[in-house]
Amino acid sequence: MFSFFYNSNIFIWIEKLLNFINSIFFVLLVAALSFALIFSPPDYLQGDSVRIMYVHVPAAWIGLASFTSIAILSILNFIFKIKNLILITKSIAPIGFMFTCLAIITGAIWGQPTWGTYWAWDARITSMVVLAIFYFIFIMIHKLISEGEKANRISSFVAIIGLINIPIIKFSVNWWSTLHQPASIKISGESSIHSSMLMPLLLMFFVMILYCALIFLMKYKTEIIRIKKKNLNRL
């Protein structure tokens, strides 16, 4: 059963998954954009500016989820010392960083028509900036420290420390008085967003998840080839 987790088997599955995602991605992207920009209704208070939500919210969710995954995988790596976990965290980090930055930028653009300012040192926004800094440090450690084992140890430590910031981001809107609105979508409990907006939002989120999977699989494949290339003489 564990033979599935060998790099050679993973490599074959990556190829199949990449082909599958590539075949459905464009159609889903067009559908999601049509709903987000045309078919979904404007908000009764915010008007059409609410459409920014369809890129801002999924980007923020992915930024948070990616860092949480990196931190959990780093903890597992500390315990079980599985090399593949480091490859996975290294492949996820740039995607998470990109989406965190996109969430901050699109949030700032949304801030202007909604709050009258692009930027405020609000608890939610500031904690998102802190998250982007953690991502940046994590990526730079792997770029600057050439000794693999040392880089893995330090980056794992940074990821675990950064995990403290995740609940701060999540609950910042409840703990402090902030410009940012509280969560409209709740996993437990009733969401305060209408289904005509929730459906396009979930569709857009799904498309972005597919995009993340594409980038992740390509990066993971690159890492496997890089390792094989380095060890070619030992094959």
Q: Round to whole Å and give the CA distance between 159 and 135.
A: 8
Piece in contact with other proteins (CB under 8 A), picked from 67-75, 99-107, 170-178, 183-191 = 99-107
Q: Which is nearer to other proteins, 72 or 209 (CB)?
A: 209
By CB under 8 A, is residue 117 in contact with other proteins?
A: no
Sign of CA dihedral 225, 227, 232, 234: negative
* 226 makes contact with other proteins (CB under 8 A): yes
SS3 90: helix
CB of 37 to other proteins, least distance (A): 7
Cα–Cα distance, 155 to 67 (Å, whole number): 12
Of the CA atoms within 13 Å of residue 59, those in its CB half-sphere come to 18
Other CB atoms within a 10 A radius of the CB of residue 230 amount to: 9
Given a contact cutoff of 8 angstroms between Cβ atoms, the answer to whether 97 and 67 are in contact is: no
Interface pattern 126-155 for other proteins (x via CB under 8 A): ------------------------------
For other proteins, which is the closer residue by CB, 17 or 163? Answer: 17
6's torsion region: left (phi>0), alpha (psi -120 to 50) or beta?
beta
Would you give the binding string for other proteins spanning residues 12-51, x where CB under 8 A is met? x--x-----------------x--xxx---x----xxx-x
- Classify residue 47 by its DSSP letter: B
Site residues for other proteins per CB under 8 A: 7-9, 11-12, 15, 33, 36-38, 42, 47-49, 51-52, 55-56, 59, 94-95, 98, 101-102, 105-106, 109-110, 112-113, 211, 214-215, 218-219, 221-222, 224-226, 228-229, 232, 235
